[in-house]
Every structure is written in C-alpha cells, then in structure tokens.
Amino acid sequence: MDTTIKKICAGDIRTASRLIRDIEDKLPDAKAKIKKLYAHTGKSFIIGITGAPGAGKSTLTDALISEFRKLNKTVGVLAVDPTSPFTGGAILGDRIRMQRHAEDAGVFVRSLATRGALGGLSQAAGNSIHVMEAMGKDIIIVETVGIGQQEIDIINHAHTVLVVLVPGMGDEIQTMKAGLMEIADVFVINKADRAGARQLQTELSSMLNLSPKTADGWKPPIVMVGNAFDPATFDENTAELAKKIEEHHLYLQQSGMLTERMHRKAMTEIKDALSACLMEPVMHSLVTDGDLEKIAEKIRNRKSDPYTAAEEITEKFFRKQAGK
C-alpha cells in the first residue's frame, strides 16, 4: 500500500492534514491519492449542520463532539465556509471554540474556505470527508453557513442533516419554505430561552405537518436547545439532540434510505468526476491548437454564439477521436 494511504488509514494527523490541504489547493496529485484512498471510505456516519450566521452552529458542534466522545466514538469535523469575506471570520471562531478538544486524539477538526475564485468547494468537501473516513472516524460533522446552491451541494455529503434556527430572525419561516424543508432531517431551535422560541416551534411544527417529506416515514423532530451559559439545561438538551440524530441514523439503516442516500452521493461523485474528465482533453486540444482564442474572438465579435461554438467543438473533437 502507498505510504500516504497507509499513514492516513492509521489515523496519522499530519499526513491527513497535508492531503486535505492538497485537495483544497487542487494539486493534481491529490486526485491520485483519493483514488487509492477510496476503498477505505464509506463507513463513517456523516452529520451535516447548517443555519444562518450566528445561529450557534459551532457551539452545537462542540457540544455534539462531547456527547459522541462520551460514547467513545471518534469524531472528525469539517467546517466549510463558502460565504463571502463580508461574513468571514467564522472559521477562525470555530477553531478557537473547539480548542478544548485540541488535546483529544479522538477528535480531528479541519476547515475549508473558498480562497478567492477557485470553485469546486463541494467536491473538495467530499474528498476531505473521504480522508476523515479513511482515518476511521466513526462520526464526521460537516458544518456550513446558509443554504445557497453551493451549501446544498456541500450538505448533501451528509447522511443526516441538522438545520439550526434561532428565534427572532424575522420572517425566517416564510423564506425557509423555499428550500429548507427538503433537506432538514432534524430541526434545532437554538437559544430557545429567547422570546419567540415557542412561537417558532409552533409555526415550524404546523409546517412540518403539511410537508410531503413526512410521507417517507420520518417526521423531522424539533429539538429545543437552551442557552449555553446554563450548562445543566444545555447539556441535557444536546444529549437529547444526539439521541434524535442516532434515531435518524437507525431509521436510515432500517428503511434502506441510507443505501439510497449513498447511491445518490455516488451518482453526484461520478458526474463531478466525469465533467472534469471530459473537459480536460477537449480544453487541452483547444488550447494547444490555438482554437480557443480564435473561437473566443468570434464570439466576442458576435460572429458566433457560445452554444453553436460548443456544438462545433464537440463534433470536431469526436471526429478527431474517431480518426485515431
């Protein structure tokens, strides 16, 4: 076995961290490593946590780590920040808050960020999760802010998805209808000691009763979590949350939904890899032939359009392949 793979499978933190960094930096070598690593993945239980900035996701993640550690489970945490520099700083905060687990060899925390205009963050997240799976982590928590397209792609790597809400965020329930209902397996109303918590719970509950998702046999529970500065209640609440997560895990296994979710994930991974695999040789031949510049020029001058050009390029490429 490849030394890197062997080390990662033995849980070596430095080797794993380096590979995650290489994935983030899109080094070509990272892909080759993931190929070899893949056979050692797929056994971890993956939990996704999402919610608005300031909803308290990191505090919850931290509390869940403690709960899972009590059960002797090893935990990997991936904090993904696809948001703008405007709302930045979250990742630094995460790391500081989870510091208390820093000395625990059973806990491995990493973060991924966009770093400007790179893209492909969801794929990088998926591959970083694979590294943690190969390390043998029992549970992997993926944390991300908000639910845009990119965040949905990221959170789709999870088996169980937690959506964290806090009272008093305005017309949250209304706007939520757009996309949250479809992805949440467990709802958390955090900072539930605040005014409006009960009302939020009631509204959410009646929405859930109307949701078609419950027809699958799983009705997303709503867990109320109190103020973290009231440790007795907070610990009780987060233990309850960990229990609900475990219940959903069991449900996924028994209903066959886990297999279905892993199948869907495999599909996404093939499509992503395929898209890159098809584009690479075509782009390469376009660049080396000098065609790309010529075509871009034609499009810029409106002598052609991108769709017609794409069809012509594809046809030419296939003909060239056929001639080989």
Per CB under 8 A, the list member of 105, 117, 195, 210 interacting with its own copies is 117
Binding mask 50-89 for its own copies (x = CB under 8 A): -xx-----------------------------xxxxxxxx
Please report, as residue ranges, which positions from 183 to 212 form the binding site for its own copies (by CB under 8 A). Answer: none
Closest CA to 24 of 81, 62, 75, 77: 81
Q: Which of 207, 208, 239, 309 binds its own copies (CB under 8 A)?
A: 309
Q: Interface with its own copies includes 172 (CB under 8 A)?
A: yes
- Binding part of the chain for its own copies, among 72-80, 113-121, 218-226, 234-242 by CB under 8 A, reads 113-121
Q: Which is nearer to its own copies, 106 or 196 (CB)?
A: 196
Asked if 180 interacts with its own copies (CB under 8 A), we say yes
Indicate the SS3 state at residue 157: coil
- Cα angle at 148 between 144 and 107, to 5 degrees? 10
Q: Please pick, from the candidates 34, 65, 78, 79, the single residue that binds its own copies as defined by CB under 8 A.
A: 34
Residue 119: how many other CB atoms lie within 10 Å: 11
Q: Which range binds its own copies by CB under 8 A, 36-44, 210-218, 221-229, 237-245?
A: 36-44
Does 269 engage in binding with its own copies (CB under 8 A)? yes
The DSSP string of 12-25 is -HHHHHHHHHHHHT
Q: How far is CA 115 from the centre of its chain?
A: 17
Please identify, among the stretches 8-16, 57-65, 142-150, 228-236, the one whose residues bind its own copies according to the rule CB under 8 A. Answer: 142-150
Alpha-helix residue ranges (DSSP H) falling in the chain: 3-9, 13-24, 28-37, 57-70, 90-97, 121-134, 149-155, 172-176, 180-183, 197-210, 231-255, 257-288, 291-300, 306-323
Q: Given the DSSP bridges, would you call strands 222-225 and 186-190 parallel, antiparallel or unpaired?
A: parallel
Name which of residues 215 to 254 contact its own copies (CB under 8 A). none
